[in-house]
Structure 1
């Protein structure tokens, strides 16, 4: 038998388990759908400038797919009513400066531009972007995914919402739907950007086990053949994932892997044993996926904890973690966060089950303080970092990097 053939096929529509799949309905996110949609109702009714929307929440909570569902329906409605509206989805996952983000946008709005421009000033790039947007005209909605990668370099997030009032454009009306995986993202934004961006904020809480079960049943109905998934599989997958991250993406990935194992083993039914095997096989993959879901500054902070652990210096106080973080940020060439935001970032890593932070009483010696350490095996984490861009040099020689520390 060919390496590419399996004895059985439990899947009816395997694409429904892929990350890019957009379901017809989102029963667990109806309140969030409503909140996002209402930002555009005044535009539809009266031609008033659309509001900006910030969507926040941990990865895997349906933020991106919810925004896509709203924009798809908005686009279809505007076509029926002959309203001139264009939407552009731009992922900022691989950028961390205003200059890079404007270049990324140009690759989306200029048909002839396939790579981010280089060698121009930010002012020139902004002028080029606004000139093109005025050529497009009408209502333009930018769906900016993972805007937290910009950190405090937030010029783009100020320029776009204020473009018309500042005289940068005359023929277009711009608005932003921004998605952030970092709940503390706005703390590093300038005051003027906050005023421009935060007209409507929608927060996505993590899914609980019941919500994950509902999501998985919907996917099973579409993705698998009737009767191909054992009764207890969905509930078990939902329970495991709820205890870990509450991520629908992780739960669906687990179900997909269990189905693939069943096919390879020649089984017509996905069982709990297949799910258990899938969980074991995905353990290392889950670390990689979690790392890739983090912002570059969260990744740098986690690497700082790994370096401290490699020296036996964990649990570490926040100021020690910050000192190592600055070295890592310099090494990978990313903008540094301020020290005041680091503790919140460490809490963010705790929600991914990658690190843990706990409070200690200072007693008569001083005030309370926080200690942080890894939740995952150091070697497994470093192996995961091998699959993350920008960290190759550090991962390959952690010992040398560790010895160069400025900590006493």
Structure 2
């Protein structure tokens, strides 16, 4: 059977790009309070004063990065009317960076990327002090009064947080004399601040903005706005957007995930050569996306993380969930011993369970039994049981456990 010809379709999508990650909207719906707080935090810049250092918290898909793009673009535009102001922004995604050295080296390369007279540097091999000196030199050479350095997904660097101490002090420490330097950290992990060193907390966290997950009504507004541009008229049945918004709010509160769900539902209708998108398409899209997402997350786990997850899975199969970490650790010990893996402490397994909960793989409910019992988490898989079981059984090292 040969290939079919590629032909343009015009039954479902009028402009599917607006549902995809690479699309940047001109405005941000349902985030008026956050945008106002963000602008207020940056107001010292427009007055010519040193900038505040700002930390944004919230899970992925709740508007942190888009807010930053919109607010900084507005700030730069408004600053142009003042002769004594020049605002420069430097953006770096820290997703794959785990040390302050790597962050500093990559910032140097951001400056050098568009300069044909300077080559980028290796992210290993230089003395750290030399890398910092290069960074200070680039900041000093900026033709601006303010340099705002945006570190997206900054929680990736973990506890190696020296760069978060050095950057906010660049001006006061005399490393950069003609430009005020401010840091904007965008963070997906709410506990990241707790693990920062005391000196970094004192220096960096002047202003903190929290972006809560979207609720179903807010997601409905966002989806309707994008759907008007993405789909042809009368393509969506009346229950599609409410269903996509409800699932999105229930599972993550992420606009990105809700838009992905709506896009996938439309794609399924197109694949089926139908002229309308139905609630059933949303349900089918949800199952496919969940399996893909959970599969990617679980497959990326190290063996010890998979063993902790296997322990919860076997307890769930026996009807013994939600379970406390001590029950899970006992089950984990049996599995680890069975495949001749190192047996980690209950504290280490607790950290892995917390990570799985933050990734949305486990459901974790905090319980408080009062003064006698204290507070603790109970974990379960919920409706992910079958999907996770299939994925775990495909792992060669764990297959014997099943």
Judge same fold: TM > 0.5, yes or no: yes
Query: Are 1:134 and 2:140 an aligned pair?
Result: yes
Gaps of at least 5 residues in structure 1 are 329-338, 387-394, 403-408
Query: Are 1:252 and 2:255 an aligned pair?
Result: no
CA deviation profile, 1:179-205 (whole Å, cap 9, x unmatched): 111111111001110111111110011
| Alpha-carbon contact 1:148-1:185 (below 8 Å) kept | yes
Q: Distance in 2 between matches of 1:279 and 1:52?
A: 39
2:342 maps to: none
2:56 maps to: 55
Please report how far the alpha carbon of residue 17 of structure 1 lies from its aligned counterpart in structure 2 after TM superposition: 1.0
2:160 maps to: 153
Q: 1:211 to 1:101 in 2, by over 3 A?
A: same
1:78 maps to: 79
Q: 1:155 to 1:42 in 2, by over 3 A?
A: same
312-321 vs 114-123, greater mean Cα deviation: 312-321
Q: Distance in 2 between matches of 1:367 and 1:185?
A: 24
Q: Distance in 2 between matches of 1:194 and 1:182?
A: 16
Q: 1:320 to 1:99 in 2, by over 3 A?
A: farther
- Alignment of structure 1 residues 3-402 onto 2, 5 Å: 4-5=6-7, 7-45=9-47, 47-82=48-83, 83-111=85-113, 112-114=118-120, 116-138=122-144, 139-287=146-294, 302-303=305-306, 305-306=308-309, 308-309=311-312, 315=323, 317=325, 346=353, 349-350=356-357, 352-358=359-365, 370-372=377-379, 374-375=381-382, 376-377=384-385, 380=388, 383=391, 397-398=397-398
269-278 vs 373-382, greater mean Cα deviation: 373-382
Please report how far the alpha carbon of residue 64 of structure 1 lies from its aligned counterpart in structure 2 after TM superposition: 1.2
Q: Distance in 2 between matches of 1:271 and 1:114?
A: 51
Calculate the TM-score normalised by the size of structure 1: 0.79
SS at match of 1:179: strand
Please report how far the alpha carbon of residue 251 of structure 1 lies from its aligned counterpart in structure 2 after TM superposition: 0.5
Q: 1:4 to 1:303 in 2, by over 3 A?
A: farther
Please report how far the alpha carbon of residue 78 of structure 1 lies from its aligned counterpart in structure 2 after TM superposition: 2.5
Q: Distance in 1 between matches of 2:137 and 2:209?
A: 31
The alignment covers a number of residue pairs equal to 374
369-378 vs 112-121, greater mean Cα deviation: 369-378
6-15 vs 254-263, greater mean Cα deviation: 6-15
| Alpha-carbon contact 1:90-1:143 (below 8 Å) kept | yes
CA deviation profile, 1:123-149 (whole Å, cap 9, x unmatched): 221111111111124211111111111
Gaps of at least 5 residues in structure 2 are 337-346
Please report how far the alpha carbon of residue 74 of structure 1 lies from its aligned counterpart in structure 2 after TM superposition: 1.6
1:389 maps to: none
Q: Distance in 2 between matches of 1:39 and 1:363?
A: 40
Please report how far the alpha carbon of residue 54 of structure 1 lies from its aligned counterpart in structure 2 after TM superposition: 0.6
| Alpha-carbon contact 1:37-1:70 (below 8 Å) kept | yes
Q: 1:113 to 1:147 in 2, by over 3 A?
A: farther
SS at match of 1:174: strand
210-219 vs 116-125, greater mean Cα deviation: 116-125
Q: 1:126 to 1:303 in 2, by over 3 A?
A: farther
Q: 1:309 to 1:257 in 2, by over 3 A?
A: same
Q: Distance in 2 between matches of 1:278 and 1:268?
A: 17
Q: Distance in 2 between matches of 1:28 and 1:216?
A: 11
